[in-house]
C-alpha cells in the first residue's frame, strides 16, 4: 500500500480555541409522527369541498386551569454544538479511529492539528482530508473510506459517555420545563446525521425526553408544513404543479445569468436556496408547530450557521451558543451570541425577559 510507505511530516498548527464551560409537554392533539396519528392535513379538509382548507394555527396554552399560564414562547434547540460539543469531543477522535481501522497508523490528529484543519477548510471534512494528505504525501483515494469509518466511530462515541453533554444544558432544559416553556429538540438536520443527534438527546435522560418533542425527519414530514409545502401525504393540484415548475424555470434562468456574469468576473455564485437550507427551514417550521407557537414566538438556540440563516429567513429570533467549531465565527443576525449555559451566559430567565446579554 502506497500509504504505508509514506513518511510523516510534522504539521504546524495553530492552538485550539478553548471550549466554553433544549420542551413543555407536547399538546395531545399534536402528531408525534406521520404514522402515529391521523394526518393533520387530512383532518383539515372538509368532506364536501375539493379544496384544501388550512387548520387553525396552534397556540400556546396552559394544560391546567389551576397552573399559571405559560409564557407565549416556544423553544427550539439544536443538537450538535448546543447539547454537546460534537466537534471537540467526537469528530477528532472518530477520525483517529477511522485512520487506525484503515491501517493509516501515521495519521493522528491532535487537538491543535484538528483545529488548524477546521480553520483552513472551514469545517469541510473532505477538504480537511485533502489538506492533511497533501501535506504528508498520502493519496486522497481513501477519502470516502475514511469518512465512512469516521461516521461509524462517531456513532459509537455519541452513544457512549466519552461524548458528554455541555455543562449547564440539563439545568437549562429543566428551567424551561418548570417555567412552562415548550421545548423541541431539532434532530432532523446536522452535519453528522439524525442517528447521532438522537443518541446525544438520549443523554438528557428518559424523564426529560418524555417531556420534550424530538423533531426528526419523520416528524417534519408528518407536520402540517411537511404535508402541505413539501408534498408529503398530499397530492398537488395541476395549478400548484405548474406554479412550482414556473418557479423552477425562473430560478434556473436567474442562475444561468448569474453564472455568465460570474465567469466574466472569475467568481462562482449560487443564488438559489440550497437543499440543506430548505431542510433546516422545514425543521424550524415543524418545530414551531409541535411546540404550539407561531414562528415569531419561538426562539432557536443554535450552534450552526445554517440554523441561524434559516431562522433569519423565516423571521424566527435566534440565540447562538458557541462551541469549539464556532468559537471565532460571527453571527450578525443572531439576537445574542453566548459561550455556554448558566450564569452570565444563556439562561431561561434571559429568554423570557428577552435580555439577550
pLDDT at res. 35: 39
Whether residue 60 contacts residue 252, with contact meaning beta carbons closer than 8 Å, is answered with no
pLDDT tens for residues 194-243?
999 999 999 999 999 999 999 999 999 999 998 887 776 554 455 555 55
pLDDT at res. 339: 93
Phi first, then psi, for residue 84 (nearest 5°) are -145, 145
Distance separating alpha carbons of residues 221 and 215, to the nearest angstrom: 10
- The percent of residues in the chain predicted with pLDDT above 70, rounded, is 65
pLDDT tens for residues 163-190?
999 999 999 999 999 999 999 999 999 8
Other C-beta atoms closer than 10 Å to the C-beta of 125 total 19
Phi first, then psi, for residue 256 (nearest 5°) are -60, -45
Other C-beta atoms closer than 10 Å to the C-beta of 6 total 16
Whether residue 109 has pLDDT greater than 90: no
Neighbouring-strand partners of residue 301: 77, 319
Whether residue 286 has pLDDT greater than 60: yes
The mean pLDDT of 65-74, rounded to a whole number, is: 60
Whether residue 331 has pLDDT greater than 80: yes
Task: Give the alpha-carbon dihedral of 312, 316, 317, 320, to 10 degrees.
Answer: -60
pLDDT at res. 31: 42
DSSP letter assigned to residue 45: S
Distance separating alpha carbons of residues 345 and 63, to the nearest angstrom: 30
Query: Band of the pLDDT at 263, cuts 50, 70, 90?
Result: low
- The percent of residues in the chain predicted with pLDDT above 90, rounded, is 34
Helix 194-202 and helix 143-159: axis angle, to 10°?
Answer: 20
pTM strictly above 0.85: no
Mean pLDDT of the chain: 75
The mean pLDDT of 315-319, rounded to a whole number, is: 95
Query: Band of the pLDDT at 62, cuts 50, 70, 90?
Result: very low
Cα–Cα distances (Å) from 69 to 65, 109, 173, 234, 240, in that order, read: 8, 51, 19, 36, 41
pLDDT at res. 324: 83
Higher-confidence residue of 54 and 264: namely 264
Higher-confidence residue of 223 and 248: namely 223
Secondary structure (DSSP) of 210-249: TTSEEE-HHHHHHSHHHHHTS-TT-PPPHHHHHHHHHHHH
88 CB burial (10 A radius; 0-12, 13-18, 19+): buried
Phi first, then psi, for residue 64 (nearest 5°) are -145, 140
Whether residue 79 contacts residue 357, with contact meaning beta carbons closer than 8 Å, is answered with no
Task: Give the sheet arrangement for strand 336-338, strand by strand.
Answer: 213-215, 183-186, 74-78, 298-302, 318-321, 336-338
Quick one: cell of 60?
Answer: 400556546
pLDDT tens for residues 111-149?
888 888 888 888 788 888 888 877 876 655 577 788 888
Q: Which residues fall within 8 angstroms of residue 332, CB to CB, at 6 or more apart?
A: none
Q: b/e per residue, 30-60, with b = 16+ CB within 10 A?
A: bbeebeeeebbbeeebeeeeeebeeeeebeb
Amino acid at each position: 500500500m502506497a500509504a504505508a510507505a509514506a513518511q510523516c511530516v510534522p504539521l504546524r498548527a495553530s492552538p485550539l480555541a478553548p471550549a466554553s464551560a433544549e420542551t413543555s409537554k407536547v399538546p395531545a392533539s399534536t402528531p408525534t409522527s406521520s404514522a402515529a396519528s391521523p394526518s393533520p392535513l387530512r383532518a383539515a379538509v372538509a368532506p364536501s369541498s375539493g379544496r384544501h382548507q388550512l387548520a387553525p394555527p396552534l397556540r400556546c396554552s396552559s394544560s391546567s386551569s389551576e397552573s399559571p399560564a405559560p409564557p407565549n414562547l416556544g423553544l427550539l434547540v439544536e443538537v450538535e454544538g448546543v447539547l454537546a460539543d460534537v466537534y471537540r469531543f467526537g469528530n477528532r477522535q472518530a477520525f483517529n479511529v477511522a485512520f487506525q481501522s484503515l491501517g493509516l497508523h501515521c495519521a493522528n490528529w491532535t487537538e491543535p492539528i484538528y483545529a488548524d484543519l477546521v480553520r483552513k477548510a472551514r469545517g469541510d471534512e473532505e477538504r480537511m482530508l485533502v489538506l492533511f494528505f497533501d501535506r504528508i504525501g498520502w493519496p486522497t483515494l481513501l477519502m470516502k473510506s475514511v469518512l465512512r469509518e469516521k461516521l461509524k466511530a462517531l456513532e459509537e462515541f455519541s452513544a457512549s459517555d466519552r461524548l458528554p453533554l455541555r455543562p449547564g444544558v440539563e439545568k437549562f432544559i429543566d428551567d424551561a420545563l418548570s417555567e412552562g416553556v415548550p421545548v423541541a429538540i431539532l434532530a432532523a438536520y446536522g452535519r453528522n446525521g439524525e442517528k447521532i443527534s438522537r443518541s446525544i438527546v438520549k443523554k438528557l435522560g428518559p424523564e426529560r425526553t418524555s417531556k420534550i418533542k424530538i423533531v426528526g425527519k419523520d416528524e417534519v414530514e408528518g407536520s402540517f408544513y411537511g404535508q402541505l409545502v413539501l408534498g408529503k401525504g398530499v397530492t398537488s393540484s395541476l395549478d400548484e404543479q405548474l406554479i412550482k415548475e414556473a418557479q423552477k424555470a425562473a430560478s434556473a434562468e436567474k442562475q444561468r445569468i448569474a453564472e455568465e456574469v460570474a465567469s466574466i468576473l472569475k467568481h462562482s455564485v449560487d443564488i438559489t436556496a440550497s437543499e440543506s437550507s430548505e431542510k433546516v427551514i422545514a425543521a424550524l417550521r415543524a418545530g414551531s408547530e409541535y411546540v404550539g407557537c407561531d414562528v415569531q414566538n419561538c426562539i432557536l438556540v443554535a450552534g450552526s450557521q445554517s440554523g441561524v440563516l434559516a431562522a433569519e429567513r423565516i423571521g424566527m429570533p435566534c440565540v447562538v451558543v458557541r462551541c469549539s467549531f464556532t468559537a471565532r465565527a460571527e453571527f450578525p443576525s443572531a439576537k445574542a451570541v453566548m459561550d455556554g449555559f448558566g450564569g452570565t451566559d444563556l439562561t431561561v430567565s434571559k429568554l423570557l425577559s428577552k435580555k439577550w446579554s
